[in-house]
Amino acid sequence: MAYELITIQRDVKAITIPYGTETVVFKDEKVYITQTLGGSFTLQRDNGQLVRIDGQDADALGKEVPHEAKVFKLEYSDEKPRDEKEIEKDVLDRLKTCYDPEIPVDIVELGLIYSTKITPHPQGGKKVEIVMTLTAPGCGMSTVLKTEIEQKLNRIPGVKEAVVEVTFEPPWNQSLMSEAARLQLGMM
C-alpha cells in the first residue's frame, strides 16, 4: 500500500488511534495519509502515531471533502414515511461506510455488527438499534466509532433515533470476517 506524504496546511483536530483521545495535528507537520475511507482520513505522524481526521477538515490536508462526508451531511427529513425494508437497506449501506481506522475493511465485512433491530419510534419514524463489538477489548476508538455510526444512521430519512451498544460478548475473532474481508487482508 502506497502512503501519500503531505504537509498539514492548518492546525486541525484529530483523534488518536487506538486510544480515541483528542489531539491536534499542527500546521506544517509532515504526515502520511494511510487510509481514506468512510469519509475520514487516517494519518501517520513521524513518531509512528496514527490519528484520524474528519473528512470535513480535508482542506487542512490539501484535499477535497470525501464523497461519503458530503453525502452523509444530509439532515433528518420526515417528509414521506418509509418502510422498514428501505430503512434496513440504508442502514446496511451506512454501516458499510464505517471503517476501523487501522484496517481498510468496513465494520460489516469485519464481522463487528452482531445485530440490527428496527422498530417504530414513539414519536414517529423508526428507531435503529445496533449491537456491535470491536476487534480488541479496551480499544479507545469505541466511543469514536459508536458516535460516527449513530450520526450516520440518524441522518437516514425515516430514522428518528439510532442507538449503538458495544459489547465484547462473544469476543470478536477472525472467523466472523466475511470471505471478501479475509481475501482483502491476504488471509486466504
The reported pLDDT for the residue numbered 5 is 95
The reported pLDDT for the residue numbered 80 is 63
Residue 39 lies in a domain: yes
Q: Write out the chain's pLDDT in tens, 188 residues.
A: 578 999 999 999 999 988 888 999 999 999 999 988 888 899 999 999 999 999 889 999 999 888 776 655 444 444 566 788 889 999 999 999 998 878 889 999 999 999 999 999 999 889 999 999 998 887 878 888 998 899 899 989 889 999 999 999 999 999 999 998 998 888 87
Adjacency order of strands within the sheet including 113-120: 113-120, 126-132, 159-166
CA trace torsion 52, 110, 174, 112 (10° rounding): 90
Number of domains forming the structure of the chain: 2
Residue 78 lies in a domain: no
Same domain, yes or no, for 88 and 180?
A: yes
Helix (H) or strand (E) holding 153: helix 142-154
Residue 75 lies in a domain: no
Same domain, yes or no, for 58 and 119?
A: no
Residue 76 lies in a domain: no
Same domain, yes or no, for 132 and 63?
A: no
Final residue in a domain of this structure, among 28, 43, 70: 70
Asked whether 2 and 126 are in contact (CB, 8 A), the reply is: no
Residue 36 lies in a domain: yes
Same domain, yes or no, for 104 and 20?
A: no
Residue 77 lies in a domain: no
Cα 97–Cα 104–Cα 159 angle in degrees, nearest 5: 15
The reported pLDDT for the residue numbered 74 is 47
Final residue in a domain of this structure, among 12, 43, 70: 70
Same domain, yes or no, for 104 and 179?
A: yes
Residue 79 lies in a domain: no
Same domain, yes or no, for 177 and 118?
A: yes
Residue 40 lies in a domain: yes
Residue 11 is part of which domain span?
4-70
The CATH number that applies at residue 46 is 2.30.30.40
C-alpha cell at 37: 475511507
